[in-house]
């Protein structure tokens, strides 16, 4: 599974010395699933790196040979890098139906999916349009990325992941990992007011999924 699980993952660099791993969604409405995949990876990447390093060391040990080291490396990769179909199954189990990525996910189910993936306890939190900037900064500052809901002016919604907030010119800016295009959008978090997104095409609604 390891080779296939790397599909649609991208490493992105920003001008502010931040590096992000972004998963580009595979289906038109699978942005919520892609966001869950990114949260899972970002929380587990340290253990994955340690496991792969241990696997590489085992591959040069006589007798153990390469197979044990290779297996350990694959297990470490699979621990952090899940595939969309695998998480479709988990989401379907949570909602009690078959899910295939063609329908919009409901954020109220995201915390349970993250829990079943071994990411701990999460919650859907209403911060409101005026409070969402602070809620995002607080959530990321507490040590975990957050999933943020966006409403498009043209209609419809979208989920993205914020994994870092940096201060630029005295103001907080979110590093928004967008599964729609697999890129990072540097977005102002205006204190006390609703953040707009993608040159005003949308706005953060005030709903976030955050770790408890």
Cβ neighbourhood burial of 17 (10 Å; 0-12, 13-18, 19+): exposed
Q: From 36, 123, 48, 45, select the one nearest 88 (Cα to Cα).
A: 36
Whole-number Å distance between alpha carbons of 30 and 40 = 15
User: What is the pLDDT tens value at each position of the chain, 212 positions in all?
Assistant: 344 467 899 999 999 999 999 999 999 999 999 999 999 989 887 544 443 454 454 554 554 444 544 554 466 456 567 889 999 999 999 999 999 999 999 999 999 999 999 999 999 999 999 999 999 999 999 999 999 999 999 999 999 999 999 999 999 999 999 999 999 999 999 999 999 999 999 999 999 999 99
**DSSP state at residue 108:** G
Q: Rounded to the nearest 5°, which phi and psi values hold at 138?
A: -65, -40
The C-alpha atoms of residue 188 and residue 170 are separated, in whole angstroms, by 11
The DSSP-derived string for 48-77 is HHHHHHHHHHHTTSTTTHHHHHHHHHHHHH
Count CB atoms within 10 A of the CB of residue 212.
10
pLDDT at res. 45: 78
Would you state the pLDDT for residue 80? 66
Task: With residue 184 as reference, give the H or E element that holds it.
Answer: strand 183-188
Q: Which residues contact 24 (CB under 8 A, 6 or more apart)?
A: 8, 9, 10, 34, 179, 180, 181, 182
């Amino acid at each position: 599974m390891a080779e296939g699980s790397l599909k649609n993952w991208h490493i992105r660099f920003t001008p502010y010395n931040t590096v992000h791993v972004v998963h580009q969604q595979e289906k038109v409405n699978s942005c919520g699933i892609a966001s869950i995949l990114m949260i899972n990876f970002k929380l587990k990447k340290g253990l994955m790196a340690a496991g792969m390093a241990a696997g590489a060391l085992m591959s040069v040990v006589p007798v153990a040979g390469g197979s044990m080291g290779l297996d350990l490396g694959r297990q470490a990769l699979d621990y952090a890098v899940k595939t969309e179909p695998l998480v479709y199954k988990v989401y379907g189990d949570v909602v009690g139906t078959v899910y295939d990525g063609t329908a919009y996910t409901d954020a109220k189910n995201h915390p349970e999916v993250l829990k079943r993936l071994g990411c701990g306890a999460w919650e859907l939190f209403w911060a409101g349009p005026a409070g969402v900037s602070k809620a995002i900064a607080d959530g990321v500052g507490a040590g975990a990325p957050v999933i943020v809901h966006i409403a498009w002016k043209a209609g419809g919604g979208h989920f993205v992941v914020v994994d870092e907030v940096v201060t630029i010119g005295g103001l907080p800016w979110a590093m928004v990992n967008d599964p729609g295009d697999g890129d990072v959008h540097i977005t102002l978090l205006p204190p006390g007011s609703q953040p707009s997104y993608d040159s005003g095409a949308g706005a953060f609604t005030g709903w976030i999924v955050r770790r408890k």
